Amino acid sequence: MTAKNAKETREESKVGLTHKDTKACPERKSREHQEIQGEDLRREPFTANLLRTSCYGGSRGRQEMPKKRWGIKGEGLTNKDAKKSQRVVRRSLRVSAGRNEDEEGYVASEIYFAMGGAIFGAFTEASIRLITKHDLPGVEPYRGWLGEWLDRPAALKDLLDANGIQLITASNGGRGQSCEFIDPAKRAETVSDHEAFCRDFLNLFGCKHFKINMGRRPENGTTVADIKAIAETVTEIGKRTRDLGVTIAPHPHIWGPIERPDEVRALLDQTDPEIVSWIPDTAQLNLGGGDPVQLIDEYYDRLAAVHFKDSKARYRGYTGPTPTKEMHQEEILYKDLGAGGVGHPPIYKMLVDRGYEGWVTLDLDPPRANEGEGSVDEKIGINCRYLKETLHVPNL
């Protein structure tokens, strides 16, 4: 189950459209390219999808998309039948659409949803079963929580393939990997360790982007010199991973060296778009005092992927100091989608309207029973229902 096979399957699904034809249409799909009358889409779903995908656009470093066989009622195959078949084969052209705000018709979209690894802690076969249960086609684990899979990537890939799940990337960190992005004396080790993980692990799964956190925040805050050093380290890693076919994607995170909106802009402005992309997290940007809609729109062309999660409603439009770890220990800062701190409908609409083609990861923390959050299974279900019922995502 390789990226090459996925691409071939996608191309074969496009009746009368060759790989050469698609290469002749390299421009990003605009809203005008995407709009299809709602009546046509409801009556002729596969025909409408062919019109949508006649040109490839989308995010940088986009992984070939899954691998799901979706039944279309009236075509002789129900969604229930398709769900059974996807346990073995989940790779075919998928109908995906997002509703316009006024509910008139549909806008084409190729957005796929993955489960982040934080919610599970250690990544196990039980984690995979839950992802499959909720019909999510992708997963984004943490390197530090892969356990034995870190040394047995082929076995993990076989297991994920058998369940129709794509490992879209794995976050850096954990044993045997330096994550010192500021100290020049440790740069060579950090670069070498990240290159090795990309070569020996991510490449096996066909990953096209490498999501990286950038270490702990300096005790006295991040300086201009610190950001310059981080930009240099990320760029050097990016040059190495680019040679392996993988785009480096730094991930702004509260309590990390890049958390405030001015720091996000400074890092992206000091790096080459051809080498460095980024992965914004809607709640991380919000809690860091930034406007997620504005920042994602401003650096849209640099997107490798996107993370969704929410914060408490009182953080809506927040521009104050970053909440502390102690505050997070008292009460979880990261909330389920719909909590109200982040306006996800306009973010999702922007992605759809701009023709985003790529992954959105539900990056959720483990549930806290003492705060009434229930089980991991229940938490995943709450957030998947939000996607379907509030954002009107037709298929995950």
* 162 and 183 housed in the same domain: yes
* 70 and 211 housed in the same domain: no
What is the end-to-end Cα distance of the chain in Å, rounded?
20
Looking at 108, 134, 149, the residue that finishes a domain is 108
> Is residue 360 a part of any domain in this protein?
yes
Rounded Cα distance between 18 and 34, Å, is 20
The predicted structure's pLDDT at residue 60 = 54
Q: How far is CA 124 from the centre of its chain?
A: 20
* 98 and 243 housed in the same domain: no
For residue 7, give the nearest of 17, 15, 19, 24 by alpha carbon: 19
> Is residue 394 a part of any domain in this protein?
no
Which residue segment(s) compose the domain that 290 sits in? 112-389
Rounded Cα distance between 21 and 157, Å, is 32
Sequence length of the chain is: 396
Looking at 75, 91, 108, the residue that finishes a domain is 108
Angle subtended by helix axes 261-269 and 224-242, to nearest 10: 50
Q: 28-66 as b/e, with b when 16 or more CB fall inside 10 Å?
A: bbeeebbbbebeebeeebeebbbebbebbbbbbbbbbbb
Q: What distances in angstroms separate CA 318 from CA 259, 311, 322, one per listed residue?
A: 13, 10, 9
**Low-confidence residues of the chain: pLDDT under 70:** 1-109
pTM for the whole thing? 0.78
For 301, counting Cβ atoms within 10 Å of its Cβ (0-12 exposed, 13-18 middle, 19+ buried), the class is: exposed
* 129 and 93 housed in the same domain: no
Rounded Cα distance between 396 and 374, Å, is 23
Into how many domains does the chain fold? 2
Q: pLDDT tens-digit profile of 345-361?
A: 999 999 999 999 999 99
> Is residue 396 a part of any domain in this protein?
no
> Is residue 395 a part of any domain in this protein?
no
What's the CATH code of the domain at 223?
Answer: 3.20.20.150
* 94 and 141 housed in the same domain: no
Helices marked H in 53-186: 79-85, 125-133, 153-162
Q: What distances in angstroms separate CA 208 from CA 205, 224, 359, one per listed residue?
A: 9, 30, 11
* 244 and 226 housed in the same domain: yes
DSSP label of 396: -
> Is residue 266 a part of any domain in this protein?
yes
> Is residue 24 a part of any domain in this protein?
yes
